[in-house]
Structure 1
Amino acid sequence: MKSVAILKTLGAALCLSVACSASYAQDNSASAPAAAMAAPATSAKKADRKLGYTVRKALSKAQGVDVSNITVRSHGGAVTLTGTVPDEGQIDKAGEVAKGVSGVTSVTNKLTVMQQ
C-alpha cells in the first residue's frame, strides 16, 4: 500500500514539473512587440531630454535672460517654457532663443512676469 502512495506522489510531482517547464518554454512572441516598442520610446525620451538640456543651455548663455525660474520641457521637437522672469522683455527673448536651437520645431511660451 505504501508503495502505491509513493508512486502516485511521484507521478503527480512529475506531471507538475512537466507542466511548469512546458509553460515556461512557450514562445514569447506576444510580448515581443511590447519589447520592440520600449526601445524607441526610450530613445525618444533621451532625445527629448537632450533637446531640453540644449535649450536650457542656450537660454543660460543668452544675454539678458534670467533662467533661474525657467523650466524647459520638450516632446518631439516641441518645446514649452514655463516659469517666471523679472521683466516682460525676457519673455520674448527667451522664446526667440528657444526657437533658434537646432531641433526645435515649435515653442510654447508660458513665461510670466514675476510679481515683486
Structure 2
Amino acid sequence: MKFTQLLVIASSAVALSIGSASVYAQASDAAPAAAAPATSSKAANRALGRAVKRALTKNKQIDASNIYVRARDGAIRLTGFVPENAQIQIAGDVTQGVNGVSSVDNKLTVRRPGH
C-alpha cells in the first residue's frame, strides 16, 4: 500500500516536472528543460531501489544485509553476498515481483558467515 502511494507521488512529480519543463522550454531555450526529466528519473530510480530493498528485507527467507540494489529505468541489478545458494534465486524472484521492475540482473554470490 505504501509503495503504491509512493509510486503515485513519484508519477505525479514526474508529470508535473515534465509539464513545467515544456512550459519553461517555450519561454526560453531548451537546454535547461532537459535537466528536469533526468532529476525526476533519478528520484524514480531511487524510489524503485528502496522498494526492492524493502521487499528483500521483509522476506524472512533472505538475509538481505549484504545485498545491494541498483535501479535504472526499471532494470534492477542485485550485487553482494548471501549465506546460502538458495537465497540467490529467492532474491531474484522477490525482486521480479516488485511493481515497476522490468528486469533483474542477479549478480549475488554465496559467502558463508565469518568468511
User: Matched residues in 2 for 1:80 and 1:110: separation?
Assistant: 7
Count of residue correspondences = 87
User: Matched residues in 2 for 1:34 and 1:114: separation?
Assistant: 47
Aligned to 1:100: 97
Cα-to-partner distance string for 1:38-85 (whole Å, 9 max, x where unaligned): 000000000000000000000000121011110000000000000000
User: Matched residues in 1 for 2:54 and 2:37: separation?
Assistant: 25
One-letter code of the match for 2:72?
A: H
C-alpha root-mean-square deviation of aligned residues, in Å?
1.3
One-letter code of the match for 1:103?
A: G
Q: Secondary structure of 1:68's partner?
A: helix
Which structure 1 residue ranges, 4+ long, deviate > 6 Å from structure 2? none
The reply to whether residue 70 of structure 1 matches residue 70 of structure 2 is: no
Aligned to 2:109: 112
User: Matched residues in 1 for 2:31 and 2:84: separation?
Assistant: 48
Percent pairwise identity: 54
Aligned to 1:51: 48
The alignment's TM-score, normalised by the length of structure 2, stands at 0.72
Q: Secondary structure of 2:30's partner?
A: helix
User: Matched residues in 2 for 1:73 and 1:66: separation?
Assistant: 17
Larger Rg computed on CA atoms: 1
Aligned to 1:35: 32
One-letter code of the match for 2:55?
A: A
Q: CA deviation at 1:34?
A: 2.0
The reply to whether residue 80 of structure 1 matches residue 66 of structure 2 is: no
Where does the alignment leave 5 or more consecutive residues of structure 2 unmatched?
Answer: 1-26
